[in-house]
Amino acid sequence: MYRWETTRAALAQRVFATIRSESYDQAAATADTLLSAGLTTLEISLTTPFALEAVTTLVREVGDDAVIGAGTVLDAVSARMAIDAGARFLLSPSLDEDVLRTGHRYGVPVFPGVATPGEVVRAMELGADALTLYPATSFTPAWVTDVLAIMPQAALLPCGGITVADAPAWVAAGAVAVGMGSALTSGDRETVTKRLTELLERLADTA
């Protein structure tokens, strides 16, 4: 699969989950809940113990039914290890040229972190497949609208602190998708399933 095809699949629902857990078992259980409830994209943060093992297991279990990535990828070594583990995309809170180069060398899309228009331009010059606006709590949906007014080609992915209530506003502002952590993943299986179902319905209705 080409990078652009993987990117399109990863962002198709306009939301993906960031799983940052205290243990492998907790991460695996959260991923199972989300995937069973219909989510098609998630990433395991490398801050999670045995994150790479979790990525490998999930990729093997879901096949082409979902897109599993690795998050908090900060350097080339981590990028290569995540790719070897089977990650289909790499997400980073920072803009690191070596991470982009490593991902692209092996045909894996990279979503580096940006926080200024200058970083947006630099990331696009380096070939970023989408741009992680992190942390989203430091911005507003209006920031996305304003940046896209002058750079409509920027594929912005706000992440960090986004809730079910405000996710549609980010997408309506022009974000290609939003990344959600505990606001989406916390709670028991029934709670998470209900929350995700509601979110997907609201995003589907967002122009």
Residue 207 has what pLDDT? 63
Q: Is residue 179 helix, strand or coil?
A: strand
Average pLDDT, the chain: 96
Give the residue among 144, 165, 164 at the shortest CA–CA distance from 154: 144
The dihedrals phi and psi of 106, each to the nearest 5 degrees, come to: -110, 15
The dihedrals phi and psi of 121, each to the nearest 5 degrees, come to: -60, -45
Q: Along the 207 residues of the chain, how does pLDDT read in single tens digits?
A: 899 999 999 999 999 999 999 999 999 999 999 999 999 999 999 999 999 999 999 999 999 999 999 999 999 999 999 999 999 999 999 999 999 999 999 999 999 999 999 999 999 999 999 999 999 999 999 999 999 999 999 999 999 999 999 999 999 999 999 999 999 999 899 999 999 999 999 998 886
Which runs of E-coded beta strand occur in the chain?
A: 15-19, 41-45, 67-71, 90-91, 110-111, 113-114, 131-133, 156-158, 178-180
CATH homologous superfamily of 3-204: Aldolase class I (3.20.20.70)
